[in-house]
Structure 1
Amino acid sequence: MDALIVEPSPTYQRILSRMLESYDFKLTFVDSAIAGLRQLKLQRFQIICVAMYLPDLTGIEFCRLVRQQNAKVPIFIVTSETEPTLLSSALTAGATDIIRKDDLPRLEESLHALIPLGPFRYNISGKALYLEDSLTVAKATDAKLKRLGLQMDHAFSIAQAMQLLGDNKYELIMTDIVLQDNETGIDFIRDLRADSRFAQTPILAVTSLESINRRIQALQSGANDYISKPVLDEELFARINNLISSTRLIEQLTRERQRLLELATKDHLTGLYNRHFLTELAKRRFADANRQQTALSVLVIDIDHFKQINDQHGHQVGDKVLKRIAAMLQTLCGAEDQYVARFGGEEFVVLLTGYDLQRASELAGQLCQSLHQLQPEGIATSASIGVATLAAGQEEYFDEVFARADKALYLAKQQGRNRAIAL
C-alpha cells in the first residue's frame, strides 16, 4: 500500500514515517500542495496525510482539490490548531479526520479502523494478564501474544492476579475457567466487574469444548468473549484484536464526545464556560431557586480599560492577560455550585447558587482586590463588578437579575471603576 505525506517539516516527516512504516506502507514525501497534487496524477495512494499549513496552500484547500478528483481516499490533516471553526472547515472540505500533533496515536486508531490486517499484522501493543494454573499453557500463550505485540503477565491464582492488576495497566485480561484450589475464572470475572477500575477492560474467557454452561456463565458474569480449547492461533488473534480494537474505539469515541462537549460548552481561549452554556444553565438554576426559595446571585465582571491593553501591548498579550484573569476567577469561584463564564471580550459572568446579596458582594470585593493585585504579564489591571441577587419572595429569572447586575456594573464604572456595586 502507498501513502502520500504532504508535510514541509522534516521532524514530522520522520514521525509519520515511523508510524506508517509499521503498517508496511510505501511512503512518498512532498513538502508542498502543488507537489502533492502532481504526485496524485502519477500514482494512486491508499492514504494521504497533509499538514494544515503548507508553503503554497492550506491543508484545507489541498483537501478540497483532492476531493474534486478522488472522493474515497482517506485524508488526514495533521495540525496543532484547536480553533473549532477552522477544524470544522477542514471536515467540510472532505478531510477524513483531524489529527492533533499532540495526539498522533489517534492516527494509529484510525488506521486500525480503515485497514484490514492479516493474522500476524494486528500491530497491537500493550500488556495482557492471563490467569492460568498451568505453566505450560501460560508459556505457550505468552509466545503467541508476543507475535501480536502484547507482553503477557501470568498469574496462578486470583489473589496473584489481583496483585498484578493493582500494579499494572492491562489492555486485555484472559482467564481460564477451571482453576486450582476450588477457584474459578467466573469468580475472578465477577470480582473484576465489581471493581470500577476494570469495568471497561476487555476480558477473554478460555473454556473447554464440553463446558457450554460454563461459557454462558462466563458471559453472564461479564466476560466480553470466550474461546474454546484447544485454542487455534488465528482465532485467538482475531478475538483478541476485536476485543482490544473495540475497546480503543470506545475510548476514542468517549474522548471525541468529551471534546465536542467542551467545544459546545467551553470558551476556547480561557477554558471557562461560554455564554451559551451559562445562559442555559442559569435557566435551570433560577427555576430551582424560585421553586425552593433559595438564594442565587449573579456577578457581571468587566476588565477596566482592556482596549488600552490590546492597543499598547498587542492582542497576543491581551489574550494572555485574559487567560490569567480567567484562571484566577476559576480558582476563587470554582467551588461546587459556582459557575464562571466568559460572556465575550473582556466580560465575565459568575453564577453563585446559595449566595445572598451580602455574601455575593463580599466575594465581589475580594475579586476586585485580587484582580488589582494580579498584574498579569506585568500589566496593572482592575475590574468593575456589578452584583444582583434573586429577590426574596419574588419569582425572577436570569435575564432580570442579569439586567440589574449589568446596571450595577455601569454604576461601578461611573463611580471610578475598580469597585463592586450591588443592586
Structure 2
Amino acid sequence: MHALIVEPSPTYQRILSRMLQSYDFQLSFVDSATAGFRALTQQRFQMICVAMYLPDLTGIDFCQHVRQRDSEVPIFIVTSETDPELLSSALTAGASDIIRKDDLPRLEESLHALIPLGPFRYNISGKALYLEDSLTVAKATDAKLKRLGLQMDHAFSIQQALQLLDNHMYELIMTDIVLQDNETGIEFIQQLRADHRFAQTPILAVTSLESVNRRIQALQSGANDYISKPVLDEELFARINNLISATRLVEQLTRERQRLLELATKDHLTGLYNRHFLTELAKRRFVDANRQRSALATLVLDVDHFKQINDQYGHQTGDRVLKRIASALQAQCSEDEYIARFGGEEFVVLLTGCTLNAASEKARQLCKTLQQLQPEGISTSVSIGVTCLSATQDEYFDEVFARADKALYQAKQQGRNQVVTLAP
C-alpha cells in the first residue's frame, strides 16, 4: 500500500513515518500542495495525510481538489486547530477524519476502521509479560509476539512476574493457568486485579485444560479473555489485537472525557475554574456552611484600568497579563480555596473555613503580590472586595457575591489598588 504525506514540517514527517511503518506502507513525502497534486498524477495512493496549513494552500483546499477526482481515498487532516467551524469545514470538504497533533494515536485507530489490513498486519507495539513455567512454550510465544510488534518478558513464577511488573510497563499480561510449585494463573490474576496499577491492563489466560469451570473462574478472577493450547497463531493474534485495541479505546475515551470535563469547568484562557462551575460549586459550599455554621468568605478581584492595557498594548498582551495574574493567584491559594475567572478581568475566590478578618488579610497579601508582579513588564494592580457568610442567618452565594461586589465598587471609587471589606 502507498501513503502520501503532505507535510511541510520535517519533525512531523518523521513522527508520521514512525507511526505508519508497522502498516507496511510505502511512504511518499511532499511539503506542498503543488507537489502533492503532482504525486497524485504519478501514483495511486491508499491513504493521504495532509497538514492543515501548507505553503501554497490549506489542507481543506487540498482535500477539495483531491475529492473532485477521487471520492474514496481516506484523507486525514493533521492540525493543532480547535476552532469547531474550521474543523467542520474540513469534514465538509471531504476529509475522512481530523487528527489533532496532541492526539496522533487517533490516526492509528482511524486507519484500523478505514483501511483493510491483512490477517497478520496488526498495529501493535509495546511490551507483553508472559507467566509460563515452560521455557520452550515461552520461547515459541516470544517469536509469535515479535511478529505482532510486541517485545516479551518471561517469568517462571508469580514472584518473578510481580518483580517485573514493579519495574516495567506492559501493554498485555499473559498467564498460564497451571504453574509449577502449586501456583496458578488464577491466583496471579487475582493479585493483579487487587492492585489499582493493573486495573485496566488486559490479561489473557492461556490454558490446556478442557474444564469449562476453570475458564469461567479465570474470567471471574479478572482475565479479559482466554485461549486454549495448542495455540493457533491466527487466533492468538486476533485475541491480542482485540484486547489491546479495546484498552486503547478505553484510554482514548477517558482522555476525551477528561478533556470535555475541563472544557465544561475551566476557563480556556487562564485554566482557572469558569463562572458556571464556581457558581455550581458555591451552591453546595454555602449549603454546607449554613448547615454547619462554618466560616466561608468571598473575594471579588478586578484588574485596575485593564481596558487601557488592551488599548495600549493589544489584546494578545492583555491575555498574557491575565494568564500571569491567574498563575499568581493559584500560587497564593491552597487546594480548598477555589479561584475562578468570572468574566473579563474579574476573578472570584471562595475561601472555605475562612473568617472575615483572615479573608481581609488574604486579600491584602494578594493585592500586594499582584502589584509587584509586573506581568509582561506592565505595572498592574487590583481592587478587591471582601465579605463573608453571616454567622447568624442563612445566606447564599448570590447575595454574598453581591455584597463583595459592592465592596469592590467602593474600592474602585476610593482610588483602586486597595481592599474594602464589608461585614454581613
Q: Would you say same fold, with TM above 0.5?
A: yes
Match of 1:24 in 2: 24
Cα offset, 1:207, TM superposition:
0.7
**Structure 1, residues 114-137: CA drift from partner, whole Å, max 9, x if none?**
434333211311111111111111
Q: Which residue number corresponds to residue 270 of structure 2?
A: 270
Separation in structure 1 between the aligned mates of residue 123 and residue 390 of structure 2, nearest angstrom: 63
Amino acid at match of 1:418: N
Matches within 5 A, 1:19-418: 19-27=19-27, 29=29, 31-32=31-32, 46-60=46-60, 74-82=74-82, 95-336=95-336, 338-418=337-417
Mapped partners of 1:52, 1:33: distance in 2: 11
Alpha-carbon offset, residue 82 of structure 1: 4.6
Cα contact 1:176–1:207 (8 A) shared by 2: yes
Q: 1:187 to 1:11 in 2, by over 3 A?
A: closer
> Residues 172 and 353 of structure 1: is their aligned pair in 2 closer, same or farther, counting only changes over 3 Å?
same
Q: Which whole-Å deviations, capped at 9, do the CAs of 1:382-411 have from their partners, x for residues lacking one? A: 111111222233333222222221111111
- Cα distance change, pair 188–288 in 1 and its aligned pair in 2 (3 A): same
- State the Cα distance separating 1:351 from its structure 2 match: 1.7
Distance 1:260 1:35, change over 3 A: farther
**CA deviation after TM superposition for structure 1 residue 241, in Å:** 0.7
Amino-acid identity (%): 83
User: Cα RMSD over matched residues?
Assistant: 2.8
Rounded to whole Å, the distance in 2 between the matches of 1:69 and 1:421 is 69
How far apart, CA to CA, are the structure 2 residues paired with 1:104 and 1:297? 45
Distance 1:105 1:280, change over 3 A: same
Deviations 1:329-360 (CA, angstroms, capped at 9, x unpaired): 11222413x21111222211112222232222
TM-score normalised per structure 2: 0.89
Which AA in structure 2 matches 1:188? F
- For residues 93 and 387 of structure 2, the distance between their equivalents in structure 1, rounded to whole angstroms, comes to 47
Is 2:23–2:122's contact at 8 Å kept on the other side of the alignment?
Answer: no
> Residue type matched to 2:246 in 1?
S
C-alpha separation between the residues in 2 aligned to 1:22 and 1:398?
57
- Equivalent pair of 1:297/1:390 in contact (CA under 8 Å): yes
Q: Which moved more, 1:100-109 or 1:61-70?
A: 61-70
Q: Relative to structure 2, which stretch is displaced further, 261-270 or 2-11? A: 2-11
Aligned mates of 2:354, 2:74 — CA distance in 1: 53
What do the CA deviations read for 1:68-104 (whole angstroms, capped 9, x no partner)? 8877754433223355665566567665544333443
Alpha-carbon distance in 2 for matches of 1:93, 1:370 = 51
1:314-336 alpha-carbon deviations (Å, 9 max, x no partner): 33332222222111111222413
Are the equivalent residues in 1 in contact too, given 2:3–2:45 (CA < 8 A)? Answer: yes
SS for the counterpart of 2:23 is coil
Shift of 1:255: 0.7
CA contact (8 A) 2:383 2:411 kept: yes
CA contact (8 A) 1:174 1:206 kept: yes
- The 1:160–1:10 alpha-carbon spacing in structure 2 relative to 1, beyond 3 Å, is closer
Gaps of 5+ in 1: none
Distance 1:257 1:41, change over 3 A: farther
Cα shift at 1:201: 0.5
Q: Distance in 2 between matches of 1:91 and 1:394?
A: 56
Superposed displacement of residue 262, structure 1 = 1.1
Shift of 1:66: 6.7
Contact 2:410 2:420 in 1 (8 A): yes
After superposition, the C-alpha distances for 1:215-242 in whole angstroms (9 at most, x for unaligned) are: 1110010000000011111111111111
- Tell me if the contact between 2:6 and 2:29 (Cα under 8 Å) persists in the aligned partners: yes
Equivalent-residue separation in structure 2 for 1:326 and 1:181 (angstroms): 60
Contact 1:84 / 1:263 at 8 angstroms: preserved in 2?
no
Contact 2:108–2:123 (CA under 8 A) maintained in structure 1: no
CA distances 1:362-393 after superposition (whole Å, capped 9, x unpaired): 21111111111222233222111111222233
For the structure 1 residues 301 and 86, does the alpha-carbon distance in structure 2 shift closer, same or farther, using more than 3 Å as the test? farther
Deviation at 1:13, TM superposition (A): 3.4
Distance in 1 (CA, whole Å) between partners of 2:238 and 2:64 is 37
Contact 2:321–2:375 under 8 Å retained in 1: yes
Q: Give the match's secondary structure for 2:24.
A: coil
Q: Which runs of 5+ in 2 are unaligned?
A: none
Distance across 2 between alignment mates of 1:293 and 1:152: 60
When structure 1 is superposed on structure 2, of 113-122 and 254-263 the one drifting more is 113-122
Distance (Å, rounded) in 2 between the aligned partners of 1:2 and 1:94: 20
